Structure 1
């Protein structure tokens, strides 16, 4: 194994154990000190709460992804080209995704079949990036989606007693819908237009059949789920905003009657 491959393997393994440590040790320790409500959560809620270490992963790989998109000319000019920096970023994500296999141990608390399919599809595609150095631009572009994770993780406003109509919950709901749309839906035309530009070229045929299936198949699978999730998020956001508006109108009417 060449030294760079050894480094990538080391990064993946380190990422796996780091996220296990964050989940089992760091998150409970910090949560007890910054949020008194954490101690009163059920075991199921604590598992869900601690799984929000994904926010750290999202910010880490998301910022790395932006750096590559803006400054790695080799990847941007040749989407099947030099994968050096992308491999490093994907290795971090691979360790994190494998770490999430603990979802099977805590299935009753955080199990979700679409979540599992989503991550297995990503791992299948990342195998070709890490194992064969293929399609780095597209793998890195996919990591933009991680920027939606921090807002998705703020569900614990409700756990701590904030009603759905509270300002923190509403602000997070709107932010989640906007960011999710921007990094998972609005970028779809850009992603597939770049894919179409590569399709049929010499670079395309350098990718073996299995790699093309991983690239195109996993992309379609992920985007179908992203559209489904966007629909649910948009509906939830609309319901919360409509409910808040109704409550505000009712309050104004009651105040008017009392006057």
Structure 2
């Protein structure tokens, strides 16, 4: 493997530092002043709150940049394997710094926010992204993967509403639940055929065979690993949606606005 360039290392390191700063400093300071209920949370809940705020900020920044690249970067459209990776490397560097930060926080606060599937997810992504950052390969596919971040804010918002005391059948929870399921399906499941059709279109080409065996293996293995987990999570989301629908039919209409901590 080739060594990482200095600009890539700097972007990744800055992303790591910013993620840690938001978790330890910015989020607690702002949350205490903007969300009074934050002060009533337990230490475990505050830890997860801070972690999810960092996750949301990262998802919005990287997701929007990813969409811009997907729409306007003609170089990676023309050559998805070896196209100019400059912008993609910048975005992947931001994600890499965040993933390392989040992984360390999960290990340190394992009893609070530790989750084995997220560890597998982070390690698989980091393994694949190393090839992108060091060799500048597969920019289109690396960027396409980052579309998944658009579902993250809604997943986190579901937890925020729950911990703030919003009833699962409140209007806010229901709207967010629909948005979460819809975005998760669109950016993580519905795109699977598109992603693998693009992968198949370059398989066997000269550009494909220019990739090292390690790069090809990382690309295919990590893609399959991430998609298996996405399908598992989508299954859980659908089961939760069905449970909510069944519950809503048995609840009185006036209960839909229940919000014990806010009212």
What band does the TM-score fall into relative to the shorter chain?
A: over 0.9
SS of structure 1 residue aligned to 2:80: coil
**C-alpha distance after superposition, 1:148-177 (max 9, x if no partner):** 010010112111111111111111111110
Contact 1:32 1:38 in 2 (8 A): yes
The structure whose Rg is larger is 1
**C-alpha distance after superposition, 1:43-80 (max 9, x if no partner):** 11111100121111101111111111111111011011
Asked whether 1:189 is paired with 2:193, we answer: yes
**C-alpha distance after superposition, 1:169-219 (max 9, x if no partner):** 111111110000000000000000000000110000011000011100000
Asked whether 1:15 is paired with 2:24, we answer: no
Asked whether 1:217 is paired with 2:221, we answer: yes
**What value does the CA root-mean-square deviation take over the aligned residues?**
1.4
Structure 2, unaligned stretches of length 5 or more? 256-263
Partner Cα separation in structure 2 for residue 247 and residue 19 of structure 1: 41
Instruction: Show structure 1 runs of 4+ deviating over 2 A.
Output: 248-251
Q: Give the drift of 1:249.
A: 7.2
Partner Cα separation in structure 1 for residue 116 and residue 162 of structure 2: 24
Contact 1:87 1:129 in 2 (8 A): yes
Q: In the alignment, what sits opposite 2:72? A: 71
Which aligned pairs between 1:57-206 and structure 2 lie closer than 5 A?
Answer: 57-80=58-81, 81-101=83-103, 102-154=105-157, 155-206=159-210
Contact 1:90 1:130 in 2 (8 A): yes
Count of residues in Structure 1 that have an aligned counterpart in Structure 2: 248
Q: In the alignment, what sits opposite 2:260? A: none
Structure 1, unaligned stretches of length 5 or more? 252-259
Partner Cα separation in structure 1 for residue 173 and residue 67 of structure 2: 28
